[in-house]
Amino acid sequence: MYIGSIMRTELITVSPKTSLVEARDLLDQNNIDHLLVVKNGKLVGVLSDRDLKQNWASPATTLSAHELAYLLQKLTVDMIMVRTVVTATPDTTIERAAYIMQTHDISSLPVTANSDLVGIVTSTDVMGVLLDAIGMSEDSIRLSLFIDDQIGRLAKVTAALSEAQINIQSFFCYPVAGHCGISQLVIRVDKKDGEQAKEALASKGFKAMTKYSADISSFLPSAPGQ
């Protein structure tokens, strides 16, 4: 899936000369964490709620309420906005968007096409899609298998469940830290099929883990290719 299909296109934007008071009100009124700063249709910066609060708490707070209000009306978005903005395009994949946000420690990603701002995607949006992709639900059960990197290994796992007439709702895998060549394959099946699925996998030599274990040695394949 690409972020073009989940991005938000009803954007709340401000100009660089918007006052910080107005920017704060927009963030509060719309319950959002970021404002996109646009000039002549082009994205020129981003103002986060965190940046705004950091600049709000300044030596200026020693002023009287009247003086402070006057000063804040004079301060504008372009004085504190982030000018180097990390962006993506509509054809960026969901997983790439998640990687970009994690790498840059940001929680939103403006989306541009031909340099024009066309949308925004947040970490919450991406997380929702990823949770749907891995099949999270109260009616499913999670089975973890630790398998070695061998051609046809996944086919053997799916064949074992297919023979038992068990439907796989979702699966994904990732490398196991500290165990070169071993991946954890996470499968979700209907909760009522959990025990039968474990037995079917065990009959083919795969031991499924269904709850956390600090010691995974007993779940690891005993020898490469086995």
Q: Is the pLDDT of residue 61 over 90?
A: no
Q: Is the pLDDT of residue 96 over 90?
A: yes
Residues 11-45: b if buried by 16+ CB within 10 A, e if exposed: beebebebebeebbebbeeeebbbbbbbeeeebbb
Specify whether the CB–CB gap between 221 and 148 falls below 8 A: yes
pTM for this predicted structure: 0.71
pLDDT in tens, 23-54: 999 999 999 888 999 998 889 999 988 888 87
The beta strand positions in the chain, using DSSP E, are 13-14, 34-39, 42-48, 108-113, 116-122, 140-148, 168-175, 182-190
Residue 47 is predicted with a pLDDT of 92
Domains, the chain, with CATH or none:
3-130 (3.10.580.10), 135-219 (3.30.70.260)
- Per residue, the 3-state secondary structure of 33-72, as one string, reads CEEEEEECCEEEEEEEHHHHHHHHCCHHHHCCHHHHHHHH
Q: Is the pLDDT of residue 58 over 60?
A: no
Average pLDDT over residues 128-133: 82
How high is the mean pLDDT of the chain? 87
pLDDT in tens, 106-121: 888 999 998 889 999 9
- 146 strand-pairing partners: 184
Q: Is the pLDDT of residue 192 over 60?
A: yes
In whole angstroms, give the CA distance from residue 36 to residue 45.
6
Average pLDDT over residues 175-190: 91
